[in-house]
Structure 1
Amino acid sequence: MTILLLIKPGRRVAGMTSTLVEYFTGVQHRLPCEAERVLKALEDHGPMNKEELSLTAKVKRAVLDHVVMQLYALGLVEVTTEGKSKMCSLTSLGWDFLGLSKAG
Structure 2
Amino acid sequence: MQQEKSNSQKVADAISLGKSLNNIAKGASAGGVKGAALATVKELKRPIISIILMLFVLPLIFIISLPSIIFNGLDSQNALNSNYEITSNIEKVSDKLTEIM
TM-score range, shorter chain: under 0.3
Structure ID, larger Rg? 2
Structure with the greater relative contact order (CA < 8 A, sep ≥ 6): 1 or 2?
1
Higher strand proportion, which one? 1
Higher helix proportion, which one? 2
